[in-house]
Amino acid sequence: QWRDMAQHVADERTMEGAARRRTSGLHDHLMPKEGWTTQGCAVMRTAAGERRLGIHVAVLGAAGGIGQPLSLLLARRGSELASLRLYDVAHVAGVAADLSHVDARAPVRPYQGTSELAEALHGVDLVVLVAGAARKPGMSRDDLFQINAKVVFGLATAVAKHAPNAWLLVVTNPVDATVPIALEAMRKQGAGNDRKVIGVTSLDAVRAKKFVGDAVGIDPARIMVPVVGGHAANTMLPLLSQCSPRFAFTRKEIGDLTTKLREAGTQVVEAKAGAGSATLSMAHAADRFIGQCLRAMQGAKGIVECAYVSSSVTELPFFASPLQLGRDGVETYLPLGPLNTGEREALQLLKSELAQSIQKGTEFARNA
């Protein structure tokens, strides 16, 4: 009997000790020994002798088809972000409420309507512009321009006024024209850093990786394909001769892969039958690119991505090409590298249409 009582007491002490350890561990997780400080709307952890600061990010168009999944992916980045500000003209409070339940540290804040736009942008480090209409079946990118040009001009103007030093990543289509609009709108306000206004064309690279991976039977994550030029079907050019790892594609295989990449957006629009465009894959690609930007802003070296920017890599004033990113945006504009005969010919063909889109966007902004 004594042995039974002794064992019972030991069991209780063991359980009590385990409970204390669990409680202590939970306390240490929720109330860590490092100090906490606040700056703006962000809560940041201060470790011994070092303050780890996150980055303030704003998503403009957060309640839309791309904005919602992109905001989710960004919220999951947690402590990389000091705050995630979600702006839209309607329905954004519900998106923020939903995302506020994600188990990540970044505080999510909604801002709705033009009266709250300045507050949403105040003090942000990086702005992602996804607002505007999506393509529908039968709609050309010129049709899309007529709708989205005003949206991009207005929001870029607000960025220039309230966050002039922020990176501005433009996702809203047609990117070939909306990036010139955004940069020109900022310049009209005395802002606009060529190295920080960037058109996100990463979906082209993501698709190229996927299509090549499927064609050769290896993991797309292992593949890198530079996609240069613009972001429209007739202006993008995958440089398959520079694919890493290298593959000996036939002329027909190159033609088929290039056509598949150029028609990918239309394929999704038609498959969704009026219910949207490539929102999920675009959100994934944008999140991937934003992650690289966040790393560059925090001092990581050697980050190279293709994106559409103001540059002198070609005779055109804007062009998508490999870029090395740094703390203050584009650090180095890398050359296109050696092109084969087919790529050189395709490059010359796309320049005319790309030049027209650039001119159209620039003139719109200058006359707005």
DSSP 244: B
Average pLDDT over residues 93-119: 95
Q: How far apart are CA 182 and CA 146, in angstroms?
A: 15
- Residue ranges in the chain assigned as alpha helix (H): 2-30, 67-75, 92-99, 117-121, 141-162, 175-188, 202-216, 251-262, 264-272, 279-297, 341-367
Tokens at residue 208, please?
A: 């190229």
Q: What average pLDDT does range 346-367 have in this prediction?
A: 97
Cα–Cα distance, 357 to 117 (Å, whole number): 28
pLDDT tens digits, 312-350: 999 999 999 999 999 999 999 999 999 999 999 999 999
How many Cβ atoms are within 10 Å of 311's Cβ, its own excluded? 18
Dump pLDDT digits (tens) for 134-150.
Answer: 878 887 777 889 899 99
Nearby residues of 365 by Cβ (< 8 Å), 6 or more positions away: 153, 180, 181, 184, 185, 188
Task: Give the largest CA-CA distance in the chain.
Answer: 95
pLDDT at 32: 38
Work out the pLDDT band at 169, boundaries 50, 70, 90: very high
**Backbone phi, then psi, for 359, in 5-degree steps?**
-60, -40
For residues 298 and 54, which has the higher predicted lDDT (pLDDT)?
298
Per-residue DSSP letter, 302? -
| 60-85 tens-digit pLDDT | 999 999 999 999 999 999 889 999 99
pTM as predicted: 0.85
Query: Does pLDDT of 366 surpass 50?
Result: yes
Dihedral pair phi/psi, residue 237, rounded to 5°: -140, 110
**Residue 261 in contact with residue 204, Cβ under 8 Å?**
yes
Q: Catalytic residues, which ones?
A: 231
Phi-psi region for residue 327, left (φ > 0), alpha (ψ -120 to 50) or beta? alpha
